[in-house]
Amino acid sequence: MPRRLFGPLLGLVFLVNFGRTAFAPLLPELQTAFGVGPATVGVAASLVWLGTGAVRIPVGYLLTRVARHHVVVVTGVVLAAAAAFTALAGSIRLLQVGALLIGLASGAYFASAVPLISDLFPDRVGRAVGVHGTAAQLASVAAPTVVVAVLWVASWREVFVLLAVGALLVTAALVVVLRRDGVPATASADRNFRAALAHWRVVGAGILMIATAGFVWQGLFNFYVSYLTTARSVDAATASTLLTVTFAAGVPAFWLSGRLADRLPLVPYIVGLLVVFTGGVGAFTLARDVAGLVVVSIVVGYAIHSLFPAIDAYVLGVLPTDVRGSTYAVFSGLSIVVEANGSGLVGVLTGAGYGFDTVFRLFAAGLAVTVAVIVGLAATGLLPTAGVVRSRGRPHEG
């Protein structure tokens, strides 16, 4: 049963993440289509990510009333409706509303689907989350190529028509599997939101681990091309290729890291990845030739995308089943709120006259301090236990 249900979930996460990442390569086309400036059309791309973060905590509360698999189905329907609405948008304002709705659907999906996956594969949480993340990352890598291919034969509207049709088909397949096979008993709704909030130490530990790294990552990848073209005199095409290489490194990272998270002590593994990522960010400010930039891009991309399934496995492994969905939603929502400010700070600092190298060296130093804090918390026993003890397939703190 889990394998049959996992297939539609992989299809849906691909489409959800495609919806989030398709706006970036479409921005020039949208700017021309609506006759607006880059700042106005750029709001649409920002609203996607605003929506994906803003909805997660409310969904955490919803999961105390509605079973996780029901919420996942609703997100598929909302994604299809949002994509259709966007395809029909007759003004830039309506396009922005559509972008926000796509973001809301994506945020609600991740908040409900990741805990559901941990119920489907209680003994292989890391591996399952890693495979799920791989499907999402494939969408990030494929989005620019798919968008260009569609624009070659049609308009930007057809991108969202295809997304709407795909979301409907995959959601229908998900409903068929759910009706035929059902879900594990542990996938029922979490009933006490206050109990979920009581696990603030787990939420805080997860945020410390991922939000600081994600903050730096958001600032780095959003300014990747600008950084390379201004500070390294790399042409725009090469800079864009290096950014693609960075995202492509995330595909094997998700796949392998999820498996390693099931086999290795999680806190040391996460600390190791944070060290590699910190070193990669620092090395990025020192690399000068294209070969060095390729190596650093691969290291940074692999390390940050390896962190995502590892920290998901940590948080989900520590949390009791009866609050896992709602608490995970709070954790992921707060994390994204923190992470989303990374690019804003880079913009503020560079606008104030600080060079990119100086800014990212400062970020690397901040990450080094974070790693030291995590190690100190673990050494003193203040970090929630990452070891998962299995009892009748139910994880709990060990």
Is residue 277 pLDDT above 70, yes or no? yes
Out of 44-58, 168-182, 257-271, 378-392, pick the least confident. 378-392
Is residue 391 pLDDT above 60, yes or no? no
State the pTM of this model: 0.79
For position 185, what pLDDT does the model report?
59
Is residue 288 located within the same domain as residue 312? yes
Q: What tokens were used for 38?
A: 């880059």
For position 387, what pLDDT does the model report?
45
Which of 145, 172, 191 is a domain's end point? 191
For position 148, what pLDDT does the model report?
84
Is residue 69 located within the same domain as residue 209? no
Give the count of domains, the chain: 2
Which of 170, 191, 212 is a domain's end point? 191
Is the distance from CB of 234 to CB of 293 less than 8 angstroms?
yes
For position 389, what pLDDT does the model report?
34
Measured between alpha carbons, how far is 169 from 76 in angstroms, rounded to an integer? 9
Which secondary structure element, helix H or strand E, spans residue 189, and what is its range?
none
For position 336, what pLDDT does the model report?
82
Residues 6+ apart with CB under 8 A from 159: 22, 26, 87, 146, 147, 150, 151
Average pLDDT estimate for 197-210: 87
Tell me which residue has tokens 């864009």: 240
327 domain residue, yes or no: no
For position 170, what pLDDT does the model report?
96
Tell me which residue range forms the domain holding 14.
1-191
pLDDT single digits (tens) 36-57: 876 777 778 778 878 888 888 8
328 domain residue, yes or no: no
